[in-house]
Copies of this chain bind each other. A is one copy, B any other.
Amino acid sequence: MYDGIKGFSDIYPEEMTAYREVINTIEDTARGYGFREIETPAMEPAEMYIDKSGEEIVEELYAFEDKGGRHVSLTPELTPTVARMVAARGQELTKPIKWFSTRAFWRYEEPQQGRFREFNQTNVDIFGSSDPAADAEILAFGANILTGLGLTGEDFEFRVSHRDILIELLQAFDGDVNVREAIRAVDKSEKVEYDEYIRLLVDAGLSEEQAETFVDLLSAGNDDLNELVAFTERVEPAVENLQAVLAAAEDFGVREYCEVSLETARGLDYYTGVVFECFDAEGEISRAIFGGGRYDNLIESYGGPAMPAVGVAPGVMNSTLPLLLQRAGVWPAEELATDYYVLQVGETRSVAARIARQLRERGHVVEADVSGRSFGAQLDYADAINAETVVIVGEQDLENDEVTLKEMDSGDQYQVSIDAFPGDYARPTIDDFQSS
């Protein structure tokens, strides 16, 4: 017997039922906002990541040489691919470009709770707008999927930060600061002790005193952002931009889920303006649920036109989002649902098939025997797949031109004229016939 590969999952139907409901909520929300679905390759030239992604991602690439000698990689994230696609057709596409897609990505990481080597994400991006309303629409979309899944403001929070605030603060200090390295230190701040955090910032070029001042400044919340401007005026445009995004989020009805958290930096190098991460408000799940932000320079760096961009990528299968939904008690039921089982015994198959066909045409989930089983075995099977109604097409009934409807929950049965079933009912049940 073969085993699947470590860090990769098999998802069986019951569990998939819950995942599908989550994916549908996310995708329906995206469609509602006018995000348009795209489909993208699972493989790209490895250089795309080696040139542009952060170190961490490059170390985790599933890269190899294909039979044609190309150095290729499975996609560890979508952003470089959409950047390539926008760059390829940037001039001809109507702006803003609003795209989404749900698919798998691959990173060779150590598997742990909520982290796998293969994981699914829905990527949602807006290209071509630098307006704060675009950042806010991404926040609103992110919040709407969670409320659509049954979560409330008690369950999650968006920690909102701004890369340019971090960058401008760092550059306000005298000395030669490695901004990229310092931002990585900020990204790690939640995971390391204070002393280690300071040491990482000192490694990035700040003095110890500067590092302490910097850390202190980052504790500014929404109400004391002006203290940052008092520290250095160069941070003012970024602070105003963050405030404008939060004002738009207020108009969009999602300000309540956002709190300013400048310690949130995001790991990837390509982010520019606003960045954010969604966390479990109860703190049980320590890692971010998902995150996003603005990356205004990436398209141009891929050879495309100058093109602002902002996006978010909630994970679905094999990610932390299911953990949050489970923690909050809103994870969908992991069970099969079946509208009708058409139970057929004797020489009645063509009639049973006609009934099954008509019920399917009305959009129902309808199973019928494909195993030549006995009455009892079929009824057990109907029960196992949670059939709501069983339509019994037996030889004796048929001689009277009747079929029997059986509601599985109540056990109620009722004989219905074969010509009257399913009739014009969208979802025929015993009640429709008993009352008529």
A110 to B246, CA, bound (A): 52
By the criterion CB–CB under 8 Å, are A108 and B66 in contact? yes
Interface residues of A in 42-75 (CB under 8 A from B): 42-45, 47-48, 62, 64-68, 70, 72, 74
A370 to B384, CA, bound (A): 49
Min CB–CB distance A117 → chain B (angstroms):
9
Interface size class of A (residues with CB under 8 A): 35 or more
By the criterion CB–CB under 8 Å, are A108 and B67 in contact? yes
By the criterion CB–CB under 8 Å, are B45 and A5 in contact? yes
By the criterion CB–CB under 8 Å, are A365 and B133 in contact? no
Q: Which of A9, A44, A66, A253 has the most CB of B within 10 A?
A: A66
Closest B residue to A108 using CB positions: B67
Chain A interface main SS type = mixed
Chain B residues with CB below 8 A from A137, complex form: 368, 370
Q: Interface 1/0s, chain A 96-127, versus B by CB < 8 A?
A: 10110000101010000000001010000010
A133 to B345, CA, bound (A): 13
Which of B66, B354, B365 is A31 in contact with, Cβ under 8 Å? B365
Q: Interface 1/0s, chain A 219-244, versus B by CB < 8 A?
A: 00000000000000000000000000
By the criterion CB–CB under 8 Å, are B1 and A87 in contact? yes
By the criterion CB–CB under 8 Å, are B38 and A12 in contact? yes
Whether A13 touches B33, Cβ cut-off 8 Å, given contacts A108-B66, A131-B370, is: no
Q: Interface 1/0s, chain A 14-55, versus B by CB < 8 A?
A: 001101100000001101111011111111110110000000
Check if A169 is an interface residue, CB within 8 A of chain B.
no
Q: Interface 1/0s, chain A 351-377, versus B by CB < 8 A?
A: 001100100100111111111100000
Interface residues of A in 246-289 (CB under 8 A from B): 248, 250-253
Min CB–CB distance A249 → chain B (angstroms):
10
Q: Which of A37, A38, A120, A371 has the most CB of B within 10 A?
A: A371
Check if A129 is an interface residue, CB within 8 A of chain B.
yes
By the criterion CB–CB under 8 Å, are B129 and A371 in contact? yes
By the criterion CB–CB under 8 Å, are B70 and A5 in contact? yes
Check if A381 is an interface residue, CB within 8 A of chain B.
yes
Closest B residue to A65 using CB positions: B64
Check if A199 is an interface residue, CB within 8 A of chain B.
no
By the criterion CB–CB under 8 Å, are A32 and B363 in contact? yes
Check if A179 is an interface residue, CB within 8 A of chain B.
no
A369 to B134, CA, bound (A): 8
Check if A84 is an interface residue, CB within 8 A of chain B.
yes
Check if A349 is an interface residue, CB within 8 A of chain B.
yes
Chain B residues with CB below 8 A from A381, complex form: 94
Which of B38, B64, B253 is A13 in contact with, Cβ under 8 Å? B38
Q: Interface 1/0s, chain A 332-350, versus B by CB < 8 A?
A: 0000101000000000011
By the criterion CB–CB under 8 Å, are B89 and A366 in contact? no
Chain B residues with CB below 8 A from A369, complex form: 133
By the criterion CB–CB under 8 Å, are B36 and A336 in contact? yes
Chain B residues with CB below 8 A from A321, complex form: none
Whether A304 touches B1, Cβ cut-off 8 Å, given contacts A126-B370, A372-B131, is: yes
- Chain A residues within 8 Å of B, Cβ to Cβ: 1-6, 8-13, 16-17, 19-20, 28-29, 31-34, 36-45, 47-48, 62, 64-68, 70, 72, 74, 81, 84-85, 87-89, 94-96, 98-99, 104, 106, 108, 118, 120, 126, 128-129, 131, 133-134, 137, 248, 250-253, 302-304, 317, 336, 338, 349-350, 353-354, 357, 360, 363-372, 381, 384-385
A sample of 21 inter-chain contacts (CB < 8 A) reads A1-B84, A1-B303, A5-B44, A5-B66, A8-B41, A9-B41, A10-B38, A11-B39, A13-B36, A16-B37, A20-B37, A64-B64, A126-B370, A128-B371, A133-B349, A133-B371, A134-B370, A251-B349, A251-B353, A252-B357, A253-B357
